[in-house]
Chain A
Amino acid sequence: MTVPTRPLILVVDDMVETRRLMRRVLERSGLRVIEADTGEAALRAASRDRPALIVLDLRLPGISGFDVARRIRANPDTTLAATPILACSASVQAEVRREALDAGCDAFEGKPFDIATFPGLIRGLISQPAAG
């Protein structure tokens, strides 16, 4: 398996400031970024643009981040269903973290996140073999 030199990251967050921050940090480290501000837009973008990873806010208007993760994991297209998902939420309680992992997210990062380690975290998740 070859990892593209500039993997595409789908950033899902309803806050424009957070999306802008993630774009700055990820592009700076050589990743490409597309954005979605709702769960619905996230699902459309995921199936259209096939990102290498999805950074997923959990509290979203409309379809929640938990549901976005569940729907992606349940997708009949196995490649899409195996897309790595990093949940990133300002709700940092243990229950939220557990629910995100139960919904199919591969990892959880609380907000505020450390911009110095964030790209490395994402690259680590991309390079991992897809969970079975």
Chain B
Amino acid sequence: MADSVPDANPDIDALRLEVDEARRQRDAAVALLQRGSDAKAAFLVNVSHELRTPLTAILGFVEILASGMDGPLNQAQAEDIRTVQASSRHLLELIDDLIDISSIESGEIQLALGAVETAELVRDCVEKMRPQAGEKGISLEVDAVDAELRTVADRARLQEIVTNLLSNALKFTPAGGRIRVSAMTEAATDERPVMARIDVRDSGIGVPEADRERIFETFVRTAGPSYPGTGLGLAISRELARLHGGDLTVESTVGVGSTFSVRLPVAAPWPADPAAVAAS
């Protein structure tokens, strides 16, 4: 219909041309951004690969030396090797964290969301950290879990968050201290709907109030360089929690301890068996 009406208004023609031109410019800009973003993603993948390759030989041969496979080491040599080992592992951790934070900040990261049985995941993460806790003389236990709790999450990323929080608690809790983990459903409030909440509570050094937001920034290590870490774990964990539609927060008392809380959306309960429903 519109086509059959002769369009004699030159202003409208000019406007159309302008709109077309603006669209072309927008499409070109979007294409350019996409290419830039793809190039950055490919660059990150390559950097990770290229850095991990020499680290494979470094960590492998250091482990061979440390194992005594090539002959016994004297005490000074054993200590030297342990230092190389710890530094190489730190470098590997840094590579992984840098790739993570870059892919989060560039929006490259994609979550593979599903319903995750959270109690089981939390228990698995705790079991993996138990040897490290034992070495440091820290009591690490899961003290309360809702066995039915299921969150909408990317399983691997949720593991990463919980592991980061446990590792953080281990770093800042002195020998003889305790870490307690819980995973429960949190009732809705005025501000938010029902959420899953995972708490990691430690009896560590605590975070002064002035630092409680700063610790979630990249490369900020308020406790000082004598504590190990990349300064990225909490930043990554908070960003990951937020990408899930949740958050990561901290409550702390200096000298008493800290509680890091991850909140995540809950998944629907187990679907009723359709056959059972039909039969009833």
Contacts and interface: CB of A to CB of B under 8 A. Distances in A.
Interface in B17-64: 45, 48-50, 52-61, 63-64
A116 B57 CA distance: 14
B147 interface: no
B48 A112 contact: no
B69 A112 contact: no
Contact of A93 (B45, B56, B58, B112): B45
Contact of A28 (B48, B69, B156): B69
A50 to B, nearest CB: 27
B52 A92 contact: yes
Interface in B56-80: 56-61, 63-64, 67, 69
Nearest to B44: A93
A91 B56 contact: no
Contacts of B52: 90, 92, 110-112
A113 B54 CA distance: 12
Contacts, number: 56
Contact of A115 (B50, B53, B54, B64): B64
B56 A25 contact: no
B278 to A, nearest CB: 37
A15 B63 contact: no
A94 B156 contact: yes
Interface string B75-107: 000000000000000001000000000000000
A101 to B, nearest CB: 16
B64 A15 contact: no
Interface stretch (A16-24, A32-40, A65-73, A120-128): A16-24
A91 B49 CA distance: 5
Given A24-B64, A116-B63, A18 B48 contact: no
Contacts of B48: 90-92
A59 B52 CA distance: 13
Nearest to B156: A94
B interface, over-half SS: helix
Nearest to B53: A90
A15 B55 CA distance: 12
Q: On chain A, which size bracket covers the interface?
A: 20 to 34
B111 to A, nearest CB: 12
Interface in A4-23: 15, 17-18, 20-21
A1 B45 CA distance: 42
A91 B96 CA distance: 11
Nearest to B51: A90
Nearest to B70: A24
B49 A90 contact: yes
A109 to B, nearest CB: 11
28 contacts: A15-B53, A15-B56, A17-B57, A18-B57, A21-B57, A21-B60, A21-B64, A24-B64, A24-B69, A25-B64, A59-B49, A89-B49, A90-B48, A90-B50, A90-B53, A90-B56, A91-B49, A92-B48, A92-B52, A93-B45, A110-B52, A111-B52, A112-B58, A112-B60, A112-B92, A113-B56, A115-B63, A116-B63
Interface of A: 15, 17-18, 20-21, 24-25, 28, 59, 89-94, 110-113, 115-116
Given A90-B53, A111-B56, A112-B60, 7 more contacts: A90-B48, A94-B112, A112-B59, A112-B92, A115-B63, A116-B63, A116-B67
